């Protein structure tokens, strides 16, 4: 059964993620909690997400927590509505990272990666003949990675990420 972002209930901040994740339409997707929280709960109703991913059949996506090579993240795109923002974060990565809590800054300095795995999908879900990955949520994390790479700062060779594919 086809499920799109607009078919799902909006997150009710008063109820919280634990209630949202148990709503029948959300639970039927059988997605990992981190993916539900970062994408559907935190951003599912944002206009940019509806524009970029509104036609995507969410019921087809299966998630795997994977190690993704840094080479696959160097130029990874995001939705067209937010690509400029991803590029801005990369260009100003030091400033954006300075706004994050100390534990996030320490993770980059000590381990060369993020603390929370971002949400990526295979581009073939959106464009059937496309290869590679696309950032759904975690654009700031990926932008910081891209900026650190461009500036020759410490970045790990692999990074944990939730990867959705058909």
In this prediction, residues 75-91 reach a mean pLDDT of 93
pLDDT of residue 106: 97
Q: What is the pLDDT, as a whole number, of residue 56?
A: 93
Domain span holding position 126: 62-165
Q: Are residues 44 and 77 in the same domain?
A: no
Same structural domain for residues 50 and 69?
no
Q: Please tell me the predicted confidence (pLDDT) of residue 85.
A: 92
pLDDT digits (tens, 9 = 90+) for 95-126: 999 999 999 999 999 999 999 999 999 999 99
Q: Indicate if 66 and 55 belong to the same structural domain.
A: no
| pLDDT at 25 exceeding the cut of 90 | yes
Domain final residue pick, 38, 59, 80: 59
One domain, residues 107 and 155: yes
Number of domains in the chain: 2
Q: Are residues 68 and 145 in the same domain?
A: yes
Whether 86 and 51 share a structural domain: no
**Pair 105, 24 in one domain:** no
- What pTM does this model have? 0.94
**Whether residue 138 sits in one domain with residue 77:** yes
Q: CB neighbours (10 Å) of residue 120?
A: 27
């Amino acid at each position: 059964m086809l499920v799109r972002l607009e078919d799902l209930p909006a997150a009710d901040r008063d109820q919280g993620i634990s209630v949202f994740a148990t709503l029948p339409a959300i639970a039927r997707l059988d997605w990992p909690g981190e993916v539900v929280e970062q994408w559907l709960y935190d951003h599912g109703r944002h206009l940019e997400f509806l524009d970029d991913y509104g036609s995507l059949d969410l019921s087809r996506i299966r998630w795997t927590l994977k190690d993704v090579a840094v080479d696959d993240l160097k130029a990874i795109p995001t939705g067209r509505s937010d690509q400029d923002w991803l590029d801005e974060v990369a260009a100003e990565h030091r400033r954006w990272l300075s706004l994050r809590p100390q534990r996030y800054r320490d993770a980059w300095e000590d381990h060369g990666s993020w603390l929370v795995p971002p949400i990526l999908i295979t581009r073939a879900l959106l464009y059937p003949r496309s290869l590679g990955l696309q950032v759904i949520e975690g654009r700031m994390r990926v932008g910081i990675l891209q900026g650190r790479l461009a500036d020759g700062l410490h970045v790990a060779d692999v990074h944990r990420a939730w990867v959705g594919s058909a």
